[in-house]
Amino acid sequence: MRIFKRIKERIKNILRIFLQLDKLIINPAPIYTKRDEGIRLHLGSGNINLQGWINIDARKNSHIHILEKNFKLETFADNSITEIYLCHVLEHFTPNEIENLMEIFSRKLINGGTLRISVPDFDNLILIYKLSRNNIEKIDPILLGGQDHIYNFHKSIFNKAKLKKIFKKYSFNFITEWETKDVFGYSLGDYSNQKIKIANKKVNISLNLAGILKKR
């Protein structure tokens, strides 16, 4: 009886290990940053578990560290964050809300901190529309949001000139475009490097800009 009991326990332990491994494969544990890399926030994470970052979103998910919809970032002290990343998030806010967000970002980031943003590129959406012979369905969800839940509606549009102006207003300098694989080393699975193939051309749907905060 004791032998059977031991065998049963061992089988249970093996199954438990396999279940844990399965969870890690489906939802890998976050790899936290080194101290010298500081605090990095991934706002509006959605389904993307960005390794090495604190994932913050309005909707619950097992990889979300902080549940927050307005991104007031009250958990963090002023001048404490090294980098903030938003991918297809800023367009979900009104112009007034964006002003408030930018004030929060410039206050929470350290001097020399990075704000990295990806938004739908309105200029490229117009190009996609024209290349598709005015097929509005090609740009509808990118322009207006998926509209499958309360947070997935777009309230603002951007092109490079407009987004750059917002960066400058809040003391972000050295504003540059960036490529996902150059910055992160691989495709994240978000919209930052997605393209639409149309008329034998691949057109980026996103405008990616980053700026360095220089506090006055």
pLDDT for position 109: 98
Q: Is 209 among the domain residues?
A: yes
Whether residue 5 is contained in a domain is answered as no
* Token pair in block for residue 153: 């509606």
Instruction: Give residue-wise pLDDT tens across range 26-77.
Output: 444 444 444 457 999 999 999 999 988 999 999 999 999 999 989 999 999 9
Judge whether 20 lies within some domain. Answer: no
Residue 198 is assigned to a structural domain of this protein: yes
Q: Is residue 110 part of a domain?
A: yes
Mean pLDDT of the chain, nearest integer: 88
For residue 8, what pLDDT is reported? 64
Alpha carbon distance 186, 207 (integer Å): 18
CATH number of the domain where residue 174 is located? 3.40.50.150
What residues contact 167, with CB distance under 8 A and at least 6 apart?
115, 175, 209, 211
Determine, yes or no, domain membership for 130.
yes
How much is the pLDDT for 28? 47
Number of domains within the chain: 1
For residue 216, what pLDDT is reported? 74
Q: What pTM does this model have? A: 0.82
Instruction: Give whole-number Cα distances, 20 to 38, 45, 57, 74, 76, in Å.
Output: 29, 23, 25, 33, 32
Q: Let me know: does 164 contact 96? Beta carbons within 8 Å.
A: no
State the Cα–Cα distance between residues 87 and 32, nearest whole angstrom.
Answer: 20
Per-residue pLDDT of 7-29, as tens digits, reads 666 666 555 545 544 544 444 44
Measured CA distances, 57 to 51, 111, 122 (Å): 15, 25, 25
| Single-letter code of the amino acid located at 49 | N
Question: Does residue 106 carry a pLDDT above 80?
Answer: yes
Tokens 């097929």 locate to 135
Question: Does the structure show a pLDDT above 60 at 102?
Answer: yes
- For residue 195, the tally of other CB atoms under 10 A from its CB is 13
Q: Coil, strand, or helix at residue 180?
A: helix
Bridging pattern class, strands 195-198 and 201-204: antiparallel
In angstroms, the first-to-last Cα distance of the chain is 76
Q: Is residue 152 part of a domain?
A: yes
% of the chain surpassing 70 pLDDT: 83
> What is the rounded distance in angstroms from the CA atom of residue 187 to the CA atom of residue 191?
9
Q: Are 71 and 102 in contact (CB under 8 A)?
A: no
Range of the domain at 64: 31-213
149 part of a folded domain: yes
